[in-house]
A = this chain, B = another copy of it.
Amino acid sequence: MITKDPTFLKRQGANFLSLINDLKRNRKAAAQDLQVSLETIEKIIAGESDIPPGLIQRATEVWPVNRRDFMIMEDDCPEGVLVMRGEASEKSSRIFTRGGADYYEYRDTAMSKVAPFRPEWILELCTVEDNDPKNSSLRWNNGHFMHQFTMFVGPVNFYYIEENQKKVMVANTGDSMYITPFVPHTFATRQRQKGLILALTYGNKLLGDVQQEMSSLGGDIPGQFLLETRSRDAYFASLLQLQMAALSLSAEDLIVQTGLPADRVHRWIKGEAFPTPEEYGRLADRLNVNVYDLMPPDAFDPGVIVSYLSHSKPRRYFNCQIRELASIRYLPYSKALLLDVLEKAETFPFKVPLHQYCYNFGDVSVTLRWDWKGQTREVEVGPNDSVYVKPFVPHSFSPCAAKPASLLSLRIGGKGTGEPQRELSHIGKKNIQRIYQEYSLWYKEE
């Protein structure tokens, strides 16, 4: 069996058809190119058989395609919610040593094939007696590819390097942080067996296609995609230069065609000035882009955000008290909340437009209720259980005892939020299913 996902072969067939459509091959032409029978192609498209590896190999030889293009994602969360029990997490336990000593105990928590999270429960095995970031028992890593959000549970020290300086955050339950990829860091506890972290790593927009494209372009090309982050003026200059180079448009022609003052344009290109809203409009019109495509961030973020729970003002949201945890401006679709579930929910107050991961870090179970295709479902999420909830699923949490339950809720965008969402919106509601579920040729074969 390839997978438990009953839609897999059907969707894989649709993807195969879409792929040959894009190459402007009908079934017969595809069969000829791939040297297989028309029946083989028909069965793949109908979702009646898997794609033989030999066929994919042949396709990569005769078509400008990659093996990757034939591979779809499995849906391991067909009812919208996926739970991992604390006991299952415990079974996944593994100890990592650093410098010969046990340093971390890792446990997996809820992860889905459809969601880009890699959340781990990590017990700190290194105990420190001070808060000195130069403590010799610390073992630093080199940083890693993924973005990391962390919520602390118990007395944990978080150490990181910022501007070549070793720093420490002395954290307790509910405190949180975000670290940019590749920032070296380490953790220890101030009390043996009492300090752990919920470390939620994710690749955001870079994992997958972007990473693969950069890798296949090779050489020094990937580095040239970087925009200048020295200042807002310089960042704007990078964006402007990018658009001018995309059109092979000289500064002189830009000046003549927009009627903008020559000295202004030259200073923008050098990163020494910033346009007014009116100038922005004229630039965007000439370049046929939107103003937002030319805008730098409002401010530049540090590499590490630390957030103390005591600084987060609680607010009420239906039956929950919410406190916001660490987030960073340049990741607009990554948000973290601490939910105190105070009382029984009467409706479905939550419908999160992002992938959501929750971990029950308190000692009270909650009932998670959700709507799936018009039917209400429910599951109990006990202490140390974790769940994944698909985007836009209406849901609620209710405590199973007379006291509040405590959940960490992390929400992140997948591949579809942001720019792709804008592109999808232009294409419109009528056609959205055809984007991922093309069961027909692009024309009527007669």
Contacts and interface: CB of A to CB of B under 8 A. Distances in A.
Q: 9 tightest A-B contacts by CB?
A: A68-B71, A215-B436, A292-B292, A289-B332, A64-B111, A144-B442, A73-B216, A182-B431, A141-B443
A52 to B, nearest CB: 10
A285 B440 CA distance: 46
A349 to B, nearest CB: 7
- Number of identical protomers: 2
B216 A74 contact: yes
A247 B288 CA distance: 33
A344 interface: no
Contacts of A78: 218
A388 to B, nearest CB: 9
Residue with the highest number of chain B CB atoms closer than 10 Å, among A18, A182, A332: A332
A65 B215 CA distance: 20
A87 interface: no
Interface residues of A, number: 164
A250 B287 CA distance: 38
A337 to B, nearest CB: 7
B249 A421 contact: no
B429 A226 contact: yes
A431 to B, nearest CB: 4
A301 interface: yes
Given A247-B337, A332-B293, A424-B206, A224 B98 contact: no
Contact of A225 (B100, B288, B290, B416): B416
Interface string A402-422: 000000000100111111111
Contacts of A208: 68-69, 208-209
